Structure 1
Amino acid sequence: MLEELFLLIKDVEKDDSIRVFVMTGGLADIYIMHFSIPELQRISEDNEKVFLNRMVKNRVSRFFLVHMLNFTGWLMDASAWYESATLKMAKSFREKVPSLFLWLQMTRLYLAIERMNKITIAAINGPCNGGGVEISLCFDFRFMVGDQGFAIGQPECLIGIIPGGGGTQRLPRLIGRPKALEWMMRGNLLSPEEAKQIGLITDYFNKETFRDTVQEFADLMGKRPPVAIDAIKKSVHEGMNGTLGKGLVLEMVQSIRCFDTDDAKTVIKNYIKLIEEKVDVPEEERMSPAELFDIMEHARLVERFYGK
């Protein structure tokens, strides 16, 4: 599934007609319960085959392993060709060491979702644990069915392992270090209400209206200017990996990029005209702030954002 989803993400990213990507379970009341148990069982065996278990125990070999993985990740980020070649090479060892390919494919898939130049939504329509949580963390928005007793959990600690699909890194960035540590170490399940309270999910809805409500939200977000959306995501995700100073420079670069688009030039021009006609007028003729925001939120200042 990971390989197929990765290829789908790459195709969707190239399609300018798609503004929002929504992932949900294909069957009623089923999302992602957890990672494949047989595959989890094979990880220890596969690690022993390529001596990874020994490498992480030795300080020197662990140092080289960490730096090699960091350098490989940097090269894959810099070159789509290198990423594709590395995944193909790892796939060739799939029969002998399947978990190694699985880990690499999972890492690249999750990064691809997180970095996608579209708005992404995880529509959690069933129980969600472990790997289901970790892939959902990569999405911009997470919605959950709230009236069917479904719960969300990160319980890996209870079976002696850690959330190794990015959970230990993305959770603290999303809900803060103290809450993330508590939740991962306790391994307890959260209700939709509790998950929303700590910022883990965006919102929850009744099953009867779930799909329609998520679709309505997706339709609204699909009206957002594509370049601005991509620029916001790049500024946040890349900026959080460095210092504040570097992040501010990245923000400036993305801001310049946005101001150079026809979309921004057109909508700013129309916004100024709207202010002159509906705000800078006598009080009895003046548009309220709520009315002004409604026009902006529903993209009524332009016929359509073209992403140029």
Structure 2
Amino acid sequence: MALVTERREKSAAIITFANPPRGYMNAAQVSELGVLIENIETDASVRTVIFTGGVPGVFIRHYDVGDILEAAGAVRKSGFDGDALMEAGKRGNPISQLFDKIDRLSKPTIAAINGYCQGGGFEFALCCDIRVAEEGDYRIGLPETNVGIFPGAGGTQRLPRVIGEAKALELILKGETLPPQEAANVGLVHEFVPVGGALTRALELAENFAAKTPRALAEAKHLVKQAARGPLPEGCAEERGRFSRLLLEDDEALRLMQNFQNGNQDINKA
């Protein structure tokens, strides 16, 4: 079963995440999505890329904690010390490479958030140019500290650029996620729309973008992101290194993640 699917509507490519029953992102999904994005980047007929969730009530719930525990095992068996892991962080990994590719894609990208969008799922959404969230009983944000870790795929670097350092610190340190309307109020997402309306609104935005020249949008996007980015690559490199060091050195983080895996698997109640 494909973990991501693609369809076209006019000049928009709609990519749907499908990893039932929980809707986690995992390494296999990252790999599949990378291939799709490579093809879309060079397809001149695609003017906008829209991402949305295919599991009911879920955009991307969060990154699979089981995968992170496996990564922790690999890190601990690698023989690398903390300094070596910090150097490895500078080289990136498949997740960071995909997220950076989304962030730097020349075409406009829209996250049509139609359900839970947490952890790695929200870090992915932060890479998109526009985030539209529909009304519903779900949460948006970065709850990683609830299971002994911290956002390790760009969240500590991108969120402050979106909502400012003070609010980002509050939400990340508390591991607090927000319902969609409140997420819109504090700036986690750009628009809040009625139930079932995220994809519809994303397609309306895609029509707007299609009426403009691809070069103008690509150049404008590049310049705006460059202005706001500052030392983002260095920041993300340090984040990756510190994340790996935490997996190597912090037994409590592993215990909390293992408890999560063995329990009810609701990251907001970990």
Same fold (TM over 0.5): yes
Matched residue type, 1:37: V
1:161 positional shift: 0.4
CA RMSD of aligned residues (A): 1.8
Percentage identity across paired residues of the two chains: 35
Q: Distance in 1 between matches of 2:87 and 2:68?
A: 25
* Equivalent residue runs for 1:269-288 within 5 Å: none
* Deviations 1:124-163, CA, capped at 9 Å, x for gaps: 11111111101000000011111x2222131111111010
One-letter amino acid of the counterpart of residue 137, structure 1: L
**Equivalent residue for 1:268?**
none
1:222 maps to: 210
Gaps of 5+ in 2: 1-28, 232-270
Equivalent in the alignment of 1:42: 70
User: Post-superposition shift, 1:241?
Assistant: 4.2
41, 45, 48: which is aligned to 1:13? 41
Q: Which has the higher contact order (CA 8 A, sep 6+)?
A: 2
CA contact (8 A) 2:118 2:143 kept: yes
Aligned length: 203
- In terms of fraction of residues, the more helix-rich structure is 1
For 1:204 and 1:238, locate their aligned partners in 2 and report how far apart those are by CA, in whole Å.
27
**1:1-308, aligned counterparts within 5 Å?**
1-52=29-80, 55-56=81-82, 62=83, 66-67=86-87, 69-70=89-90, 72=91, 104-146=93-135, 148-242=136-230
Change (3 A) 1:158 1:69: closer
Which is further off, 8-17 or 224-233? 224-233
Q: Which amino acid aligns with 1:138?
A: C
CA contact (8 A) 2:116 2:138 kept: yes
Q: Please give the per-residue CA displacement for 1:88-145, whole angstroms capped at 9, x wherever unaligned.
A: xxxxxxxxxxxxxxxx110000000000010000011111111110100000001111
Q: Deviations over 1:230-288 (max 9, x none)?
A: 11222133334449xxxxxxxxxxxxxxxxxxxxxxxxxxxxxxxxxxxxxxxxxxxxx
Q: Shift of residue 197 of structure 1?
A: 1.6
Any unmatched runs of 5+ in structure 1?
57-61, 74-103, 244-308
Code of the aligned partner of 1:108? Q
Task: Report the Cα distance in structure 2 between the residues aligned to 1:117 and 1:133, rounded to whole angstroms.
Answer: 21
**TM value normalised by structure 2:** 0.70
Within 2, Cα distance between the matches of 1:68 and 1:39?
A: 19
Give the drift of 1:34. Answer: 1.3
Q: Which has the larger radius of gyration?
A: 1
TM-score by length of 1: 0.62
Distance across 2 between alignment mates of 1:215 and 1:33: 23
Q: Pick the structure with more strand per residue.
A: 2
- Say if 2:132 and 2:201, in contact at 8 Å, map to a contact too: no
What's the CA shift for 1:65? 5.0
Letter in 1 for 2:67: E
